[in-house]
Structure 1
Amino acid sequence: MNGQTGQGPDRSPAPRTDVCIVGAGPAGALVASRLATAGYDVVVLDAGPRFDPVDRLERMERRIRPAHGPESVWDMGGERDAFTSEGEMYYPLNAARVKGIGGTSLHWQGMVYRLHEADFERLSYDGVTADWPIGYDDMRPYYAEAETELGVSGADDNPFAPPREEPYPMPAFKPSYSDSIFAEACAELGITTHSSPSARNSEAYDGRVPCQGYGTCKPVCPSGAKYDATVHVARAEEAGARVIDRAPVQRLEHDKAGETIEAAVYATPDGEEHRQEARQFVLAAGGIEIPRLLLLSSSTQYPDGLANSSGLVGRYFMDHLAARVGGTVDRETRQNHVGFITTESHQFYDDGGAERGPFKLEFLNYAGPSPVGEALTAGPDAPWGDDLLQDIRDSYGNYLEVTGLCAQTPQKSNRIELNPDVTDDHGNPVPEIHWSLDDRTRRTIEAANERQLAIMDELDAEVEWVVGPDNTGPAFHHMGTTRMGTDPAESVVDPACRTHDLENCWVASSSVFVTGGALNPTLTIAALSLRVADRLEGVL
């Protein structure tokens, strides 16, 4: 259990343990919970603090007040979280990540999908990119487990989704009023719409309340109805795991032969460094910090970093790209802002071939820019009081937006490196992100925009903005930086997610993705993590 001393939490290392996990987000929490429940000694190290659930209402207040930026909600920023960005496109890393117990699941929107069967075989299907060394059938039982563990509300009404036998743990959320507006237009255009599965409770589940409708799911759910990894952190601790917060791992140290990791060296707020020894190590700190840690762990024997004999640690960085079209219609479009998506279309997901990648359409429950926020930035002539109220009555609530996620074609040149010229609060080089778009990814975004514009035209909407290839941004889904494969010269981890170079180092993360598809990655991360836990039980 998490020890206490007279001076506060005990952050000293445990005696050599069975498993040391780096990162207490969904991946690390699921592995820790599964292994601790099975009776293994587990220590989890996380760079950030424990956030008090009581503070979530106050963090929601930060979210809805225009004076606060997204980083302030979960205390991101400063030397600890420094990074640099190079390449064609700037990557705003800290805008949507959290360091702390629970990780970025404290911030996420809660959208969960199984990758399509073709996503595991893009080279075979499309003749471009690459195939994973595992397929949908390998993942299928773990997807079902992950849906149960997270608690997913959904319906089996998506004709384009991969096959499944089990019903979702909870029923889907009902479509919103604006969904019905989009459904009419899509029916006229021959576009099939369907529900969107969600890791939030449509009814009481697993000791957590149903969704209370705060509408601030991203970046904070005050009620706990949306899943976050503190659920499995608590289970792990109840089963005997030790979870140490504010313990950023500085480097991994290997044995003399260079075949195994011996210890994770971590820092504590008192300025001390400690060595946590273990038989097995699981890296679960996400697609940016995992390659950074491996690169920081260079040695005389491994001058290019650990697990990097292929030279691919940090390479093939991918994200999902936004495609959006929004505007106004001459009718009311909403009753309440629910804060998450309830209707989508995957109709055009798998028909791109070599020309373009997958994309999905999302129909936003969206009211448009806040009149209050606009007033705060408009200066002394902004309307206030009764004038602002009249503006809200006249012009608020007639917005519609079709958005979507677009796949990014993996490129070796997109990468995470160390920047020795900029250091964090411990003097370590910060991650430097090199990110750009290739022509195939641009064509994917253009194809999504074309469908979105057709829908808005069918609705006689006045289009007010288009987010396309030249002004797109990331979904903050960090994928591909320790890719999976069977050939040690072309990949970092094997099909079991164990590194080729170090026999006791495992990676539970979207960093192992070979391709990213166009679907939010958390359910696949969770399924892979449960699979890693199974493989670990086989070697412990």
Structure 2
Amino acid sequence: MSSRVGGRAVSGADTDRSPVSDADVCVVGAGPAGALVASRLAARGRRVVVLEAGPRFDPADRPQQMERSIGPVDGRGDIWGMGGDRDAYASTGDRFYPLNANRVKGVGGTTLHWQGMVYRLHEKDFEMDSRYGLADDWPIGYDDLRPYYAEAERELGVSGADDNPFGPPREEPYPLPAFPPSYSDSIFAEACEELEIATHSAPNARNSEPADGRSACVGYGTCQPVCPSGAKYDATVHVERAEEAGARVIDRAPVQRLAHDASGERLEAAVYATPDGVEHRQEADAFVLAAGGVEIPRLLLLSESEEHPDGLANRSGAVGRYFTEHLFAGAGGTIDRETRQNHVGFMTSESHQFYDHEEPVPGSIKLEFLNYAGPSPVEMALTGDTFGDELLADLREAYGNHLAVGALVEQLPRWENRITLDDSRTDDHGNPVPEIRWSVGDHARRTIERANEIQVAILEALDAEIEWVVGPDDTGPAAHHVGTTRMGTDPDESVVDPALRTHDLENCWIASSSVFVTGGALNPTLTIAALALKGAEHVDEWL
């Protein structure tokens, strides 16, 4: 029978989790990258099996999950079942890294609770060394990914408008119209006009109108941690398409290690465990690792052998290295007018005016006008200790005049920021847990300081009472895991080639933000999707 962990798992111990015979492709991970790869290859007639560490959640539970998410007791981890020995990790760097705060293990992956912001990286993000003498250039450029970006926008059903004067060139409109600016966006627009800051719409992987069998966004405002209506894209869309095309998705099947042939040049099987405690070998002609920027390097390191004593695909020593994030900068407070806070659970306006910088420092800033500043009425009602008329009075006094400006800030990849194995603690299968060593760096600090200057200026132009500022000393990560199996042409300095195939293993590809060379300051999911589509094409050509 199935068991409830957060949302209800719809498959249990009696589900058939035996290996698939004669598989062409084994995909590890059923998040957006793995789902897109599986869907694309299955549609082309390939026999595909997907191994997912977490459960398959029942979409019928989403309204209940939404209700629990806004209650005073349950947290995001409880909604999606994160935590415990299965998800244990260590953080030993200069900054504590809250890994489990923003990830999900399950069919659909982290898109089950993501905010849904989707962007193409700017051209300069692929050319950081050439332009600024910082970090390294990618071995591919924006033009190489441009057709895959367009395809990814169609697959995810992106709502947007071609009104960003600072964005990279586009060849066609977004699939769906942009969401209109929110009420608080109009307030920010006044200050931005005064300060000569251009604003524009923010592309969203959520339906602005009914499409693809899913409703338009109905404004629940709980995008993180759950969209009850299904208007926001999540990877179960492509999991279902993959299954309809013949793929098999095995949930609760965490891969323990990858096994190679006698030569050490080719993978033979993914060894996975099932809830009954049995290990199975899933053999295939090709393997695609799509389990994210932490679990992919961990799996490669766990798969060490005589032929690969430092872990698989790690001739360069770069597996787990260059762990890169986006940093948050923000400022907020209150103004003496209505703002209609929390009417929208996602951003509808932003500015990339400070993204393509002329000098190396400060780096890229994506300025965000937050629609979810301050508490919602529901949050206040459920977490406070007043009732009836007293509660209504509290709501009238404390709700509706909050504003906040956020930003994602560029972090440069650093060799010392890395994912490795912590041999002092094991997970529920006896494997060393991932150890995260992460620090911020001077480049990011100076960029956060510049972002704060802009944010404070906007709030001051509105005569706001500034109540908080998140700066370089208290910044946090955006849960965008970038760079731990980087792409390159030199096998001694990178893990995968421009076709996303590992240099060291002829039948292993990686589809993940882990292959990014640099991360810019933009949410990575659209680039992940574009690379997954590109990688699926290369795998299909190889088979």
What TM-score do the two structures reach when normalised by structure 1?
0.97
Whether 1:409 aligns to 2:409 is: no
Report what 1:131 is aligned to: 137
Aligned to 1:62: 68
Q: Which residue of 2 aligns with 1:320?
A: 326
Q: Residue 539 in 1 paired to residue 532 in 2?
A: no
Q: Deviations over 1:211-245 (max 9, x none)?
A: 11110011100011100000000000000001000
1:102 equivalent to 2:92? Answer no
> Which of structure 1's runs of 4+ aligned residues deviate more than 4 A?
4-7, 370-378
Task: Give the Cα–Cα distance (whole angstroms) in 1 for the partners of residues 29 and 239 of structure 2.
Answer: 11
User: Could you say which residue in structure 2 is the equivalent of 1:234?
Assistant: 240
Work out which of the residue numbers 439, 445, 448 in structure 2 matches 1:445.
448
Contact 1:249–1:265 (CA under 8 A) maintained in structure 2: yes
> In 2, distance between residues paired with 1:45 and 1:376?
39
What is the CA deviation profile of residues 269-310 of structure 1, one whole-angstrom value per residue up to 9, with x for unaligned ones? 011000000100000000000000000000111111000010
Moved more, 59-68 or 273-282: 59-68
Quote how far apart the aligned CAs of 1:367 are: 4.5
Which shifted more, 253-262 or 369-378? 369-378
Residue by residue, what CA displacement relative to the aligned partner does 1:50-109 show, whole Å, maximum 9, x if unpaired? Answer: 000001111111210121122111110011010110111101111111000000000100
Q: Match of 1:385? A: 388
Deviation (angstroms), 1:16: 3.2
Aligned-partner Cα distance in 2 for 1:535–1:372: 49
- Which shifted more, 497-506 or 58-67? 58-67
Q: 2:254 aligns with which of 248, 251, 260?
A: 248
Aligned equivalent of 1:93: 99
Residues 153-192 of structure 1 correspond to what in structure 2 (within 5 A)? 153-192=159-198
Quickly say closer, same or farther: Cα 1:5–1:288, change in 2 above 3 A. Answer: closer
- Per mean C-alpha deviation after superposition, the further-off stretch among 478-487 and 343-352 is 343-352
Alpha carbons of 1:5 and 1:159: their partners in 2 closer, same or farther (altered >3 Å)?
closer
Residues 480, 524 of structure 2: 8 Å contact kept: yes
Instruction: Give 1:385 shift.
Output: 2.9
Select which of 118, 139, 149 maps to 2:124. Answer: 118
- What amino acid sits opposite 1:493 in the alignment? V
Greater displacement, 97-106 / 326-335 = 326-335
Aligned-partner Cα distance in 1 for 2:495–2:303: 15
Q: CA deviation at 1:186?
A: 0.1
CA distance in 2, matches of 1:310, 1:367: 45
Q: Is the 8 A contact 1:18 1:280 kept in 2?
A: yes
Q: What is the match of residue 505 of structure 2?
A: 502
Aligned residue number for residue 423 of structure 1: 426
Shift of 1:351: 1.0
Q: Secondary structure at the match of 1:68?
A: coil
C-alpha separation in 2, matches of 1:366 and 1:322: 15
Equivalent residues, number: 534
Unaligned runs of 5+ in 2: 1-9
3-state SS in 2 of match to 1:282: strand
The 8 Å contact of residues 87 and 427 in structure 2, kept in 1 or not, is answered as yes
Q: Is the 8 A contact 1:367 1:398 kept in 2?
A: no
Assess if the C-alpha contact under 8 Å between 1:47 and 1:249 holds in 2: yes
Deviation sequence 1:344-394 (CA, Å, 0-9, x none):
00001011532222111000113513577568777xxx4333212101112
CA distance in 1, matches of 2:405, 2:361: 23
Matched, 1:493 2:475: no
Q: Which amino acid aligns with 2:200?
A: H
Name the SS for the 1:456 alignment partner.
Answer: helix
Report whether the alignment pairs 1:354 with 2:345: no
Task: Report if aligned partners of 1:63, 1:70 keep a CA contact under 8 Å in 2.
Answer: yes
| Post-superposition offset of 1:5 | 11
Q: 2:222 maps to which residue?
A: 216
Pairing 1:519–2:519 present: no
Q: Deviations over 1:227-272 (max 9, x none)?
A: 0000000000000001000000000001000100000000000110
Q: Percent identity?
A: 72
Alpha-carbon distance between aligned partners in 2 of 1:373 and 1:339, rounded to the nearest angstrom: 13
What is residue 278 of structure 2 aligned with on the other side?
272
Report deviation, 1:145: 0.2
Change in 2 beyond 3 A, CA 1:441/1:191: same
CA contact (8 A) 2:341 2:401 kept: no
CA contact (8 A) 1:310 1:489 kept: yes
Q: Provide the residue aligned with 1:465 in structure 2.
A: 468
Q: What is the aligned-residue RMSD (CA, Å)?
A: 1.5
Q: Distance in 2 between matches of 1:264 and 1:19?
A: 11
2:209 is aligned to: 203
